[in-house]
Amino acid sequence: MFRKLPGDETRNLVSTTPDTAVVFRPAVVKTPAIVTIVIWLSRLFAGLARLVVRHPVAVALLVAFGVVWTLYGWRQALVLTGFLPSAGLSWALLDRASFLRLIGWRLLAFWRRVWIYRRHWQPVMIVSGLGRHLQGRDYLPRLVCVECDGWADRVTVRMLSGQAVTDWANRTDHLAHGFGSPSCRVTVAKAGRLVLTFPRRDPLAEPLPAVPIPETADVGAVEIGQCEDGTPYRLKVHGTHVLIAGATGAGKGSWLWSTIRGLLPAMRAGLVQVWALDPKRMELSFGRALFGARYAADPKECADLLDDAVSVMQERADRFAGLQRSHTPTVADPFVLVLVDEVAFLTAYQSDKQLRQRITAALATLTTQGRAVGVGVMAALQDPRKEVMNIRNLFPDKIALRLDESEQVDMVLGDGARDRGALADHISPVPERGAGVGYVRLETSPDPVRVRAAYVSDVDIREMVAEYSGRSEVA
C-alpha cells in the first residue's frame, strides 16, 4: 500500500561512539498500516465533530451552500451567497442589537480568534513563560474560546496542569502587549480555567450625567454610574462599609454625591439618615441643608457626631440582642450612613492627639459592629497608606479611583488586585476621561470591577437641596 512506512528510515539509523566500541541501533516496532489509518481517520472524525460543535453557524452555512449547489446548481448557490450578506445588512439596519448579539459579535470573535489570538498564541505563551518548550515539544495552555462584546474580548484558557492563577496574573503586561490590547484582566472561570479580558476600547472615557433620582424610597443598592459593559452599576451601602481612595481630583465627590442622590427618596421617607463629616468643608458643605443638624466640619464636632453614631449603634445592639441579627430600615430605626470626606484629616493629620484617638476609636467601633444594626460608614481619602488610615481593612467594600503609585492599588483593594487587572494607577488624570473612574472590589467578589460614577454637578446638588432639604424628615 505504502512504499515507505514511518520507521523505515529510523531502522537504518545506526550511531556509534567515537571509538565505535558501542553501536546504537534503534528498535523499531512495526505498526500495521491499517492501525495507522484507523487512528488518522478517528482523528479526522473527532476534528470534524469538534468543528461542528464549536462553529455550528459557519458549518451550517457551508452545508447549506453545498446542498443548494448539488440540488439546484452553482447559479442558485451563488445567488444564495449574495443573498446572505444583504439579509445580514438589512437585519443589522433594522435591529442592530439582536443582529450583534446573535451574529455580529460571533463573527468578530471568530475573526479575532483566528487573526489575533490563534496567530500569536504560541509565541506569546512561550516568550511570557506561560508555555514550555521541552525536548523539542511545545506545551501550551489551551485557547478554549473567544467571545466578544461591545468593548472587550473574553478569552477562555485552560491552564497547563500545575499552573497557578498568579502565574497568569503576574504576566498581564506580557499578555496585553502580546495581543495588542491596552490591558488584560484575569478572572477564574472554574478549576483550571481562566477568562482573560482584553479591552478593545474604553467605554468609560466619556463623563456620565447624574443618574435620575429614584421614584421610590429604597434602601437597596444605589445606582452610582456605569460598568464597562454599559449596564448600570449599583452599590450596596446598607449592611456594609465602603472605603473610597483616590488622588486629588480623582472624583471621590461624584461617588459620595451619587450615593446621597440615590438615597434621597429614602431619606425623605425617613428610612435613611445621612450623617455628614466634612473636615475639608469643600465637598459635603455644598448640600449641607440636606443633612440638617447631622453635619460636622470642625474636628471636635466630627468627633461628637461620631460618638453620637456609636451611641445609636450601641443602643440598637442592646435592643436587638437576642431578637434579631440583621437590620431592616424602618422609620423608627432608619439606616444611618456616616459619610466622611477626607477621613485622613481626622485620623492622621489631626494635631490634637486625644481627638485623633477618639475619632479613630469611634470609626473602628462603627466599622466593626455597625453593619448588623444598620449603621454604615462610607469614607473617602487621598492617601491609603497604613500610617494614614490604619483601619482601612475594616471596610469590607473598597473602591480605588485614580492612584499615584501602583503599590497603592493593593493597599486599597487588597493583595493581588492589581495583578488581576485593577490598574487604578493607569486611570487618566484628565478629569473628562478619568474622574470618577475606579475599580470596585466587594467583600463578596475578589474580582475588581471597573466602574465610572456619574458626575453630580453643582447645579444637580442645588436642585437636590431645593427639592429635598425642606421636606426631609431627617432634617
Closest CA to 247 of 387, 449, 392, 406: 406
Binding-site ranges for ligand ATP (CB under 6 A): 207, 246, 248-254, 382, 431, 435-436, 453, 455
The least distance separating ligand ATP from the CB of residue 383, rounded to whole angstroms, comes to: 10
**276 appears as a binding residue in the annotation:** no
The least distance separating ligand ATP from the CB of residue 78, rounded to whole angstroms, comes to: 53
- Ramachandran assignment for 20, one of left (phi > 0), alpha (psi -120 to 50 degrees), beta (any other): left
The least distance separating ligand ATP from the CB of residue 281, rounded to whole angstroms, comes to: 11
**150 appears as a binding residue in the annotation:** no
Closest CA to 202 of 441, 450, 456: 450
Closest CA to 68 of 56, 82, 57, 54: 82
Taking the least distance from each CB to ligand ATP, the nearer of 250 and 375 is 250
- Distance between CA atoms of residues 90 and 86, nearest Å: 6
The least distance separating ligand ATP from the CB of residue 435, rounded to whole angstroms, comes to: 3
The least distance separating ligand ATP from the CB of residue 211, rounded to whole angstroms, comes to: 11
- Distance between CA atoms of residues 188 and 362, nearest Å: 38
Q: Which residues have CB under 8 Å from 106's CB, separation 6+?
A: 57, 148
The least distance separating ligand ATP from the CB of residue 452, rounded to whole angstroms, comes to: 6
The least distance separating ligand ATP from the CB of residue 80, rounded to whole angstroms, comes to: 50
Taking the least distance from each CB to ligand ATP, the nearer of 250 and 271 is 250
The least distance separating ligand ATP from the CB of residue 91, rounded to whole angstroms, comes to: 36
- Distance between CA atoms of residues 237 and 273, nearest Å: 12
Judge contact between 438 and 255, C-beta under 8 A. yes
Closest CA to 394 of 354, 351, 347: 347
Closest CA to 438 of 297, 288, 247, 272: 247
Taking the least distance from each CB to ligand ATP, the nearer of 207 and 262 is 207
Instruction: Provide the pairing of β-strand 222-227 with 445-453.
Output: antiparallel
- Distance between CA atoms of residues 276 and 292, nearest Å: 9
Q: Which residues have CB under 8 Å from 81's CB, separation 6+?
A: 65
C-alpha cell belonging to residue 164: 497557578
C-alpha cell belonging to residue 428: 487618566
Closest CA to 252 of 278, 271, 217: 278
The least distance separating ligand ATP from the CB of residue 181, rounded to whole angstroms, comes to: 24
**246 appears as a binding residue in the annotation:** yes
The number of beta carbons lying within 10 Å of the beta carbon of residue 101 is 12
List the Cα angle 467/471/472 in 5-degree steps: 100
The number of beta carbons lying within 10 Å of the beta carbon of residue 313 is 22
Closest CA to 241 of 87, 398, 99: 398
SS3 label, residue 438: strand
**248 appears as a binding residue in the annotation:** yes
Judge contact between 153 and 114, C-beta under 8 A. no
Amino acid at 402: R
The least distance separating ligand ATP from the CB of residue 465, rounded to whole angstroms, comes to: 17
Taking the alpha carbons at both ends of the chain, their separation in whole angstroms is: 96
**252 appears as a binding residue in the annotation:** yes
Residue whose CB is nearest to ligand ATP in the complex, by number: 436
Residue 397: strand pairing partners: 242
**190 appears as a binding residue in the annotation:** no
- What b/e string do you get for 275-284 counting C-beta neighbours within 10 Å, with b at 16 or more? bbbbbeeebb
Taking the least distance from each CB to ligand ATP, the nearer of 184 and 381 is 381
* Known binding positions: 246-253
Q: Which residues are annotated as a binding site for ATP?
A: 246-253
